[in-house]
Chains A and B, each alone.
Chain A
Amino acid sequence: MDSLVVSNIRQRPLRSAISILGVALGVALVMLFTGLARGMSDDLQKRSSNVSAEIIFTRPGSTQIIASSANVSTKYVPLLQAIDGVESVTPVIRYVYPSGSFGFDQVEGVEWDSFSKMNNIRLIQGHAPSPDEVVIDETKASRNHPVGSTLKVFGDRVYRVAGIYAPESGARVKMTLASLQDELQAPNKCTLIYVKVKNPSEQLLVAKRINEALPGNKIQPTRELFATIESSIPGLTIFLRMLVGLAAIVSALVIMLAMHTTITERTREIGILKAMGASRLYIIGEIEREALLISFLGLLVGFALAGIAGFGIHKATGLIFEFGARWGLTAAAIGLLGGALGAFYPAARAANLDPVNALAYE
């Protein structure tokens, strides 16, 4: 190719590669973080939506998503069951504990019979949990936890995998309510009580009745909870936006440095261009095209990096990445815009060089 742009990039392969990688890292970071946020919240949502109870009964002030308190008395179970319009009731402890280097893990304690019946959950292998046993979902099982194997919960307690259930719902690992109460030294307590109503269209009415019969508790529609999962992770959106901003700045700086050195090195060539009658705009255009080509290659490498890293991390840790087109476009715009802006100052400087001095430059 006769293009000055391409030949310049080829002339300095190492510098071009480093610039491309700089842009690529910014793009890959944006893709990975946003992909992780989406993947995890989608996964959570999917599992939550397999809960068929319309109403969640808790104590005021508890937040279900990251709750780890068992502060609801199970004495409410028969009281709720007695309310007109309620079909079934089941208490659950949801316990979140720190695990490994990657944040948090969850376990649920359930009364298997009423829980599985209410939510249409069946065991596809093995049997229901007895004390010192857990049942797990298929995703968990696929990570090297067949029925009969052992599983560590709370960091060091060993449980036997009694069975595998489907579909996925809530925490991947479930044990009996009684063993989790024991473990937490919270006898007769639970985190929340699921309430399924006889006629879903009457759920508001039933909720009102519960509120009248058992005042001072928190009665939430399950639907509402699903809607707020993404927004319940505080500051996530702001964090992601900041990340994108940082990636833009990194791209711009990398390109700016690369273009700045390129132009210092090519001062004489810019002098020649001027002697040949190239306008300021032409010179800025050439430099911008070079920057955009580098940024574009950086984008491609960045997407590839994100894909490979996402796959690798998923295999290693089970974290789920979901790369969205919208964030992909944002990352692309950021990479290109950063490159274009970063190149602008060096390009304008080049365009304003004095041609005679530039021609005399060694």
Chain B
Amino acid sequence: MATIVKADNLEKVYRIGKVDVPALRGVSLAVQEGEFVAVMGPSGCGKSTMLHLLGGLLTPTKGRILVDGENLTAVSDAKRTDIRRRKIGFVFQRFNLFPTLTAEGNLRLAERIHGNGADDPDRRHEILRMLHLEDKMHHKPLELSGGEQQRVALARAVVNRPAIVLADEPTGNLDSENSELVLKMFRELNDRFNQTIIMITHNPEAAAACQRIIQMRDGHIV
């Protein structure tokens, strides 16, 4: 299996005024294509920072990141955005759907941003069917339960079939029943489309469903 995400010696220091806050202190990591990885660790240990770095939303203070053969740390901001557009889907704890758009509207927006004729109703409906959202297509986020919103967010993240899905505590705002459902969806996406998934979670049961668990503490992988 090929390595699809590789991080070497990542360091990230946030600067607040004159104070330096080190969030990552040398993190190295390799994730294989099609792997489903859980990231665990106490709050503030740098999990989100690492995920943002891997997705190109942030740049590291030091170190190197390779995503599907492209060096995120050596390219311009515009190029990083472009790599993210083509290869990465993000899922957040807070769902982050566009409240004025319907479920389908949120998906179509993702397709429009992706471009290249990504507007494919068949594929869109396949994803919606997989996530049991067919009858929710025309609902706006506020008309949906938390679990349904997170499934829409997941659908939006994967509708363009990105190679990598990065999820930051996707079940953090869900009750156990909905958490279960969303996790099942992640596994199914991983099985069906061989998507690589890196998921931050506090839930040991969720982590247990993954192929590998990465533990972090104080800006290190332990």
Neighbour of A2 across the interface among B52, B57, B102, CB < 8 A = B102
Neighbour of A282 across the interface among B90, B101, B113, CB < 8 A = B113
B88 interfacial by beta-carbon distance below 8 Å: yes
A-chain residues with CB within 8 Å of residue B90 when the two chains form the complex: 275-276
- In contact, B105 and A2 (Cβ under 8 angstroms): yes
A4 interfacial by beta-carbon distance below 8 Å: yes
Instruction: For residue B152, give the distance in angstroms from its CB to the closest CB of chain A.
Output: 13
B142 interfacial by beta-carbon distance below 8 Å: no
State the main secondary structure of chain B at its contact with A. helix
Given known contacts A4-B101, A275-B90, A276-B109, what 20 new A-B pairs fall within 8 Å (CB)? A2-B108, A2-B109, A8-B100, A11-B100, A268-B96, A275-B57, A275-B84, A275-B96, A276-B85, A276-B113, A276-B156, A277-B82, A277-B88, A277-B114, A278-B113, A279-B78, A279-B81, A280-B78, A355-B57, A356-B58
- In contact, B52 and A277 (Cβ under 8 angstroms): no
A77 interfacial by beta-carbon distance below 8 Å: no
Interface size of A in residues (CB-CB distance below 8 Å):
21
Interface size of B in residues (CB-CB distance below 8 Å):
26
B187 interfacial by beta-carbon distance below 8 Å: no
| Chain A: CB-nearest residue to B58 | A356
A-chain residues with CB within 8 Å of residue B101 when the two chains form the complex: 2, 4, 7
- In contact, B85 and A278 (Cβ under 8 angstroms): yes
A10 interfacial by beta-carbon distance below 8 Å: yes
Neighbour of B85 across the interface among A7, A279, A355, CB < 8 A = A279
| Chain A: CB-nearest residue to B140 | A7
State the main secondary structure of chain A at its contact with B. helix
B98 interfacial by beta-carbon distance below 8 Å: yes
B-chain residues with CB within 8 Å of residue A277 when the two chains form the complex: 81-82, 84-86, 88, 113-114
Contact A4 B57, CB 8 Å, known A276-B113, A277-B84: no
Closest 3 pairs between A and B when the two form their complex, measured CB to CB: A277-B85, A7-B100, A2-B105
- In contact, B78 and A272 (Cβ under 8 angstroms): no
A273 interfacial by beta-carbon distance below 8 Å: yes
| Chain A: CB-nearest residue to B97 | A272
- In contact, B113 and A273 (Cβ under 8 angstroms): yes
- In contact, A274 and B109 (Cβ under 8 angstroms): no
A43 interfacial by beta-carbon distance below 8 Å: no
